[in-house]
Chains A and B, each alone.
Chain A
Amino acid sequence: MKRIGVFVCWCGTNIANTVNIEAVTEAAGKMPGVVYAGNYKYMCSEIGQSKIKSAIIREKLDRFVVASCSPRMHESTFRKTAAAAGLNPYLVEIANIREHCSWVHKNKGEATAKAIALIRAAVAKAARDKELWATQIPVEHRALVIGGGIGGIQAALDIADAGFEVDLVERTPSIGGHMAQLDKTFPTLDCSACILTPKMGEAASHPKITLYTYSEVEKVDGYVGNFEATIRKKARSVDLEKCTGCGICWEKCPSRVKSEFDEALSMRKAIYIPFPQAVPNVPVIDRASCRWFTREKCGICRKTCPAGAVNFDQEDEVLQKKYGAIVVATGFDVLDLDDFGEYSYGKHPDVLTSLEFERILNSSGPTGGRLLRPSNQSPPKNVVFIQCVGSRDKSRGKPYCSKICCMYSAKHVILFKEKYPEAQAYVFYIDIRTAGKDFEEFHRRAVEEYGALYLKGSAGKVFPDGDKLLVKGVDSLSGHALEIEADMVVLATAIKAKSDAPQLARLLGISTDTHAFFMEAHPKLRPVEAHTAGIFLAGACQGPKDIPETVSQASGAAAKAIVLLSKENLLSDPCVSEVNESLCTGCLACIKVCPYSAITEKTIEEKIHGKALQRRVAEVNVALCQGCGSCTVSCRPGAVNLKGFTNEQIMAEVDAICL
């Protein structure tokens, strides 16, 4: 017979006011298997816990129930109490008679009856509790960082500085990400390249960091502490070891293609580095536009390369690597403006997105830093900035605020006015959101010092008018319809999740929100962890963010990864599924419902009537299993059970509650 103890907590007056503690204790004492029932004012206090411990020893309890607050609150506390008294910590059950009873009911009679029923269920479950032991999983002390923007670079540097090896995988030919495209950064007007390139160099030269640029993660298997990733190093057609980055090849290359880095505002060659400070400073051949690969002619780069680094026969390389932790920092895309025809974007060269405008401002950009109208290379006199293009727009764009546009538009205004003090900047806005250190001051500078005209309202239409652009809008404060003759129009285009974020989420087994941003484990308390253990999030792949936020999240994600990597072994939660092989028929219906691919088939050998027979059964990988219990329902012969929540236990709870 089991020897169960029940400890009823008053929680001061929180429970005692609505639940008759004495009646509950008396009823609990009569429940099957219960050999001791007691109560105390604060069961979670030192004294309360020592009362439990001494009762365990005195009454020879082999398991116990605490009737108190939610198990989400103090289950771990009482498990430690059990362990301290020499009991297996999983022989403890909690009856939630506070949040689910005393706090939500007013009638003392009803609340007392319900408390007794809840305790009866907990006792029935406890009677069927078994000792559970956490298993140890070894940890691979290496990290994978996906995405080489500022978030990925920061995370990689932090993890590497802690002494762990990091592989930094970047899809494009160079690390740097969107930050490399920017001219200045708000609110300090630091030159973006000046603060980014040292970090890029540091990442490249760090002895613990291996860069895989022009590479993609193709597959991720495994689980926390033991991931196995397949990385495809796309053929660069240039030998990374031999190339000196002299640049003769791309000077000589005759093929010209629109530059992705310059947002298609300039041309690059078929053999190219995306931008002058690229890391590694080794070109790639874009085979789709290279004459050698398309027509088997030319080959001038190979002929002229003084180091003999160009190699047309190079093939993709596929690597298998093991990691203990993964940081995802894949960044964002800018919304397509196909549905926003009213702004004449794509129809008139002087209508630009903010990112394109950023390239035009940049001294390494298509105009060498001279701010000129793309249509006729003349200096602009009036520039209209339109905010929230696609942001806060449920019908055509995204319902959320892209967060950075108010600030970078203020920056654009300031940079524009610095170049042309006589010119006029107009900003159409819905609201100005400048929450952040020195942000509001920066915005006020744009208004007061630089005289930008901020107009609350919407710009409804932009259309060409002679060699100018006519912007029609409404100032909603005065109610006046406005017509502004502009030389350039800059659209603060919404930030969106990377278009292939859902694919990456599937590959990693993490979840995305309705806008395809990666989901954090908890919006408040676990903002840098993904739901899947061992995977961490940094930067705008989790939601719109500015640079300081991205960097701090990256350092946070790195710290979390370091905590994981610095352990020799991980303790797994023992509440996972287990298969009773003698009942398993090998139908494998469980495999289909497992969200973690934690169940595999295996063949076992059995001796039946002296004959050795082979049979297929399901096997649970305890390191992968997260304990949802979905498989238990799908199991036809009832061979699968979730430890800590067995079918028998839940059934016993049902019976006890219905009594």
Chain B
Amino acid sequence: MSVNLKQGPFEPLIIAFCCNWCSYAGGDLAGTGRMTYPANVRVIRVPCSSCVSSNFILRAFQRGADGVVVAGCHPGDCHYTSGNYFARRRFLLLQRFLEFLGMEPERFQVHWISASEGNRFAAVMTETTEKIRALGPNRKLRDTR
């Protein structure tokens, strides 16, 4: 279900899974620096990008999310040494799978945002929101019952 409860122009709902050590901290820094980005983005904190199951992402789409972002530490900087490499491989596959399902693969994005990149966090979230807004609502995977 979209943010403004079906009234007015389309406002996408974007779920961002952020790893605790880099991207979530980057989000905190965006806050500390009072950098603004659209309120369409809602963050779920996870220990590592490698613990984000494709299942969660598909679930988010089914429950009405219009876009999903997974954000982790930059390659080579993973707090858990190699977690983001596993995430990268899994999500490359998931992106192709979404395309195969007939969904715009851009609705699912993976970004590397470090704890010092508050501005990048805000920029990524703003760009993603605009991109998804342009794509329109997710109808393909939404649970329509």
Give the interface of A toward B (CB within 8 A): 70-73, 96, 98-101, 103-107, 110-111, 113-114, 117-118, 121, 509, 511, 513-514, 531, 575, 593, 595-596, 626-630, 632-634, 642, 645, 647, 650-651, 653-655, 657-659
Of the candidates A70, A531, A653, the one whose C-beta lies within 8 Å of that of B81 is: A531
Closest 9 CB pairs of A and B: A629-B51, A99-B31, A658-B63, A628-B80, A630-B50, A110-B39, A103-B31, A628-B48, A99-B28
Contact of B42 with A105 in the complex, beta carbons under 8 Å: no
Cα–Cα, bound, A58→B80 (Å) = 42
Contact residues in B for A651 (Cβ distance below 8 Å):
55-56, 59
B-chain residues with CB within 8 Å of residue A107 when the two chains form the complex: 39
List, in ascending order, chain B residues with CB within 8 A of A73's CB: 28
Contacts of B51 in A (CB 8 A): 628-630, 632-633, 642, 645
Contact of B42 among A70, A106, A114, A647 (CB under 8 A): A114
Q: Is the CB of B56 within 8 A of A650?
A: yes
Q: Which residues of B contact A627 (CB under 8 A)?
A: 47
User: If A104-B37, A633-B51, A657-B42 touch, does A595 touch B81 (CB 8 Å cutoff)?
Assistant: yes
- List A contacts of B42 (CB < 8 A): 114, 117-118, 121, 657
Contact partner of B65 (CB less than 8 A), chosen from A628, A630, A645, A658, is A658
Residue of B nearest to A511 (CB): B81
* A99-B31, A658-B60 given; A650·B46 CB < 8 A: yes
Contact B86 A654 (CB under 8 A): no
Q: Are B56's CB and A628's CB within 8 A?
A: no
Tell me whether A72 and B36 are in contact (CB under 8 A): no
Least distance between B144 CB and chain A CB atoms (Å): 14
**Which residues from A are CB-within-8-Å of B96?**
none
Residue of B nearest to A107 (CB): B39
> Which chain A residue has the least Cβ–Cβ distance from B33?
A103
CA distance A575 to B48 in the complex (A): 13
Mask for B51-67, Cβ within 8 A of A = 1, else 0? 11111100110011100
Chain A residues contacting B3 (CB-CB under 8 Å) are: 110, 113
In contact, B27 and A99 (Cβ under 8 angstroms): yes
Partner of A72, one of B25, B43, B46, B122: B25
Q: Are A595 and B83 in contact (CB under 8 A)?
A: yes
Q: Give the residues in chain B near A655, CB-CB below 8 Å.
A: 59, 63
Residues in chain B near residue A531, CB distance under 8 A: 79, 81
B111 contacts the other chain (Cβ, under 8 Å)?
A: no
**CB-contact partner of A629 in B38, B50, B55, B65, under 8 A:** B50
Query: Quick check: is B76 within 8 A (CB to CB) of the other chain?
Result: yes
How many Å lie between the Cα of A627 and that of B21 in the bound state? Answer: 12
Asked if A658 and B80 make an inter-chain contact with CB atoms under 8 angstroms apart, the answer reads no
CB neighbours of A511 from chain B (8 A): 76, 81
With CB as the reference atom, state the residue of chain A lying closest to B68.
A654
CB pair B39 A647 closer than 8 Å: no
Contact with A along B72-85 (1 / 0, CB 8 A): 00001001111100
The chain A residue with its CB closest to the CB of B34 is: A103
Find the B residue at minimum CB distance from A522. Answer: B115
A659 CA to B65 CA in the complex, in Å? 10
- Chain A's nearest CB lies how many Å from the CB of B72? 11
Q: Could you show 29 A-B contacts with beta carbons less than 8 Å apart?
A: A70-B24, A71-B45, A72-B20, A99-B28, A99-B31, A100-B27, A103-B31, A104-B36, A105-B37, A107-B39, A110-B3, A111-B39, A531-B79, A593-B50, A593-B86, A595-B83, A596-B80, A628-B79, A628-B80, A629-B47, A630-B80, A632-B53, A633-B86, A647-B55, A651-B55, A654-B56, A654-B65, A655-B63, A657-B44
B90 within 8 A of A: yes
Give complex CA distance A651, B53 in Å. Answer: 10
The answer to the question of B32 belonging to the interface, with a C-beta cut-off of 8 Å to chain A, is yes
Contact of B31 among A104, A113, A596, A634 (CB under 8 A): A104
**CB proximity of B125 to chain A, nearest CB, Å:** 9
Which chain A residues border B79 with CB–CB below 8 Å?
531, 628
Interface centre among B15, B52, B53, B79 (most CB of A within 10 A): B53
Among candidates B20, B48, B60, residue contacting A630 with C-beta atoms closer than 8 Å? B48
CB neighbours of A96 from chain B (8 A): 28, 43, 45
B113 contacts the other chain (CB 8 A): no
Given A633-B51, A647-B53, answer yes or no on A104-B30 (Cβ-Cβ < 8 Å).
yes
Is B48 touching A654 in the complex (CB atoms < 8 A)?
A: no
Shortest Cβ gap from A228 to chain B (Å): 20
Q: Is the CB of B47 within 8 A of A658?
A: no
Count of chain B residues with a beta carbon within 8 Å of a chain A beta carbon: 46
Is B13 an interface residue, CB under 8 A from the partner? yes
| A104→B13 CA distance, assembly (Å) | 16
B93 interfacial by beta-carbon distance below 8 Å: no
Which of A71, A73, A100, A595: most chain B CB closer than 10 A?
A: A100
Distance to closest chain B CB from A572 (angstroms): 15
Q: Would you call B101 an interface residue if the criterion is a C-beta within 8 Å of the partner chain's C-beta atoms?
A: no
Residue of B nearest to A73 (CB): B28
Contacts known (A99-B27, A595-B80, A633-B52); A104 close to B44, Cβ less than 8 A: no
List, in ascending order, chain A residues with CB within 8 A of B39's CB: 101, 105, 107, 110-111, 113-114
Check B90 against A633 for contact (C-beta < 8 Å): yes
* Chain B minimum-CB-distance residue to A121: B44
**What residues of chain B lie closer than 8 Å to A626, measured between beta carbons?**
80
Q: If the complex has contacts A72-B25, A593-B86, are A104 and B35 also in contact, measured as CB distance less than 8 A?
A: yes
**Chain A residue contacts of B35, Cβ below 8 A:** 104
Considering only residues 1-33 of chain B, those with a C-beta below 8 Å from chain A are 1, 3, 13, 15, 20, 24-25, 27-28, 30-32
Assess whether B47 is in contact with A628, with CB atoms less than 8 Å apart. Answer: yes
B20 CB to nearest A CB, Å: 8
| B60: chain A residues within 8 A (beta carbon) | 654, 658
User: Beyond the given A511-B76, A531-B81, A593-B50, could you list 7 further A-B residue pairs with CB under 8 A, ordered by the A residue number?
Assistant: A96-B43, A104-B30, A104-B122, A633-B50, A642-B47, A650-B46, A658-B64
CB <8 Å contact, A99 and B32: yes
Enumerate chain A residues within 8 angstroms of B34, measured Cβ to Cβ: 103-104
Q: Which chain B positions have C-beta within 8 A of A101?
A: 39
Cα separation A101 to B32 with both chains bound (whole Å): 11
CA of A633 to CA of B3, assembled, Å: 29
Chain A residue numbers with a CB within 8 Å of B54 are 633
In the complex the two chains form, is A72's CB within 8 Å of B28's CB? yes
Chain B residues within 8 Å of A645, by CB:
46-47, 51
A514 touches B30 (CB 8 A): no
| List of A residues within 8 angstroms of B24 by Cβ | 70, 72
CB distance from B51 to the nearest CB of A (A): 3
Is B27 a contact of A633 with CB atoms below 8 Å? Answer: no
Using CB atoms, name the residue of chain B closest to A627: B47
Q: Determine whether the beta carbon of B50 is less than 8 Å from that of A628.
A: yes
Once the chains bind, are A628 and B83 in contact (CB under 8 Å)? yes
Q: How far is the CB of B34 from chain A (nearest CB, A)?
A: 6
- Contact between B82 and A595, CB atoms less than 8 A apart: yes
Bound CA–CA A634/B82 (angstroms): 14
A485–B116 alpha-carbon span in the complex (Å)? 49
- Residue in chain A with minimal CB distance to B13: A658
A72-B28, A103-B34, A514-B76 in contact; A654/B59 too (CB < 8 A)? Answer: yes
Q: A114-B39, A595-B80, A630-B50 are in contact. Are A650 and B13 (CB under 8 A)?
A: no
- A573 to chain B minimum Cβ distance, whole angstroms, is 10
C-alpha spacing A168/B120, complex, angstroms: 44
